[in-house]
Amino acid sequence: MSFDNLVIIAAVAAAIPLALGATGIHMPGPVLEIVAGIILGPAVLGVVSVDQTVKAIGLLGLGFLLFLAGLEIDVQHFRGTRARRALSGLALSVALGLASGLVLHAVGLAQSALLVGIALVATSLGLIVPVLKDAGVADLTVGQLTIAGASTAEVTSVLLLSLFFSERGGALGGRLLLLGLLALVAAAAVRLVMRAERSSAISALVVRLADTTAQIRVRLAVLALVGFAAIADRLGFEAILGAFLAGLLLRLVDADAMSRHPQFHIKLEGIGYGFLIPVFFVMSGITFDLHALTGHPTTLLRVPLYFALLLLVRGLPALFYRGILTNREVVAAGILQAASLPFIVAATQIGLALHAITTANAAALVAAGLVSVLVNPVVALRLLAPARPAMRAQSASAEMVAVDAMQHVQPPVGTTPSRRRPAGSRRAGLRRRRRGAVLHNRPSPRHRWNSDRVHRTRSGHRRRSASSISARRTGLWCTCGCRRPAATPPMAPSTGRRISISAASKATSAARTTPCPPASPPPACTPSSSGAAASTSCSEPRRSTRCNAAAPADH
């Protein structure tokens, strides 16, 4: 086993992002990796070749690429109006792809009409999402519809490729039964994982080992990838179907991974995009037959033909979005959906292994994919540029509406907000507000007998009764212990109507700041007018029933 070729490939994979970052050129990295593989491979310089080590790591990179593609698919995109429009566009894409393949096969430009049709249906979801995020429209309607259309196309193309093209072959009925068996295995795995998540002991163990050297979540994800790839291979399908299914199921059982453990996806992408996937793309460039593409002028003319077919098959279904998108957004969505490279590379390699496609057609398809990922994102960004000011204006107007609503909801300055909203109709709420002051001034019937007592709760804390707290808050009790008369609330001086307890307490807050007046001393006893020494008349002091002391704060 030699690592010489792997060292060169690793050096190329490290140099490309550094060069892009230093020059500021916005270009997909896989494109330059394939071009570098073509230049360094046997087609031009012959510096590097594909040996067993590079081939094994490249195969793992292909599996990891499909695994991450499945991890990017959100099940929410297959519901509601977006799903119906996306599925309608998918049906049109499949019909157009099969029709294009049949036409190419009829004129002698395609050996397998089905393989070419499936390759034209695919969309590079991993390229579309970053472009939409850079444009700032990933969360808008145009972004959600584009992602939904790309997700349905990617799932369908992987299923069709695994169902109709495999090295083991077999009848279609038997392969459908095996596909159902694979779905049952996937459902059982999902049920097992969801049961394990309900166990507090297992969940605590996974959380404890997640960010240590064990990296248990990453190891379990790799186990799912390799396990489903092996099961798919045993059932007669391509391993990429199992890898794609593993990523899809992982996203399904752990939908809120970005909020619960956001570093998990970053770790998986570090393994894939940091090591395995660049090796696969460079290896694809090394095995690219440049002489078959440039050897004959008619072969070279197939590149714009396949590129036009990509725009037709994947761009035309965007017309289903016309009802809710503008014309510019519809065109941008169609152009983005027509960008595809990774799946085309995988499909052509499988087709070459099965002798279902010629080297010239494979090279032309890959070259058309290279052109699509180079040109389509740039044009789409230009078309989506006017959507950024509109998005900012929409967010600003939403903020103004929210502030206006808050101003209407908030009470005026100097008043106390109501703790309970009136229930029922408007008339019932008015009746309740009219008699609310009288009702709240009276102690509750269940606490009337101990309105001035303090009792204990179950936790042992001292707690005043509800009526006592209400009385202190409304000013019915004074610091000296005397009780105010609480017959009816005061009248508003301007309207003559009764006002609430909160308004009354605020109106009399200034008067409560003075302490209670001291009790008047008892008068001295004076002898009676009759002059009898034993007969004296003393007047007892009368306790004040009114004071202005402030009620103490409740703790």
207 and 327 part of one domain = yes
374 and 276 part of one domain = yes
The model's pTM: 0.62
User: Of 505, 523, 538, which residue is a domain's last?
Assistant: 505
Tokens of 198: 């309900």
- Higher-confidence position of 231 and 439: 231
470 within some domain: yes
Provide DSSP, 173-213: HHHHHHHHHHHHHHHHHHHHHHHHHH-HHHHHHHHHHHTST
513 within some domain: no
457 within some domain: no
329 and 207 part of one domain = yes
Counted domains in the chain: 2
440 and 392 part of one domain = no
213 within some domain: yes
Is the pLDDT score of 162 beyond 60?
yes
Provide DSSP, 347-361: HHHHHHHTT-S-HHH
- For the chain, give the mean pLDDT: 74
CB 290 within 8 Å of CB 38 = yes
- SS percent in the chain: helix, strand, coil, step 5: 65, 5, 30
Question: Could you report the per-residue pLDDT of 363-399, keeping only the tens digit for each?
Answer: 899 899 889 988 888 888 888 876 555 554 554 454 4
395 and 480 part of one domain = no
259 within some domain: yes
135 and 260 part of one domain = yes
415 within some domain: no
342 and 477 part of one domain = no
Nearest Cα to Cα of residue 504 among 444, 441, 422: 441
Residue 337: CATH number of its domain: 1.20.1530.20
180 within some domain: yes
- Higher-confidence position of 120 and 537: 120
385 within some domain: yes
501 and 380 part of one domain = no
CB proximity list for 77: less than 8 A, separation 6 or greater: 83, 86, 144, 147, 148, 151, 152
Tokens of 453: 């007592």
Question: Could you report the per-residue pLDDT of 40-99, keeping only the tens digit for each?
Answer: 998 888 889 888 899 899 889 988 988 988 887 777 766 777 778 888 888 999 999 999
382 and 491 part of one domain = no
Domain that holds residue 294: 4-399
440 and 372 part of one domain = no
**Residue found under tokens 């804390």:** 461
Residue 479 CA to residue 550 CA, distance in Å, equals 7
**Residue 14 confidence (pLDDT):** 93
29 and 79 part of one domain = yes
30 and 89 part of one domain = yes
**Residue 324 confidence (pLDDT):** 84
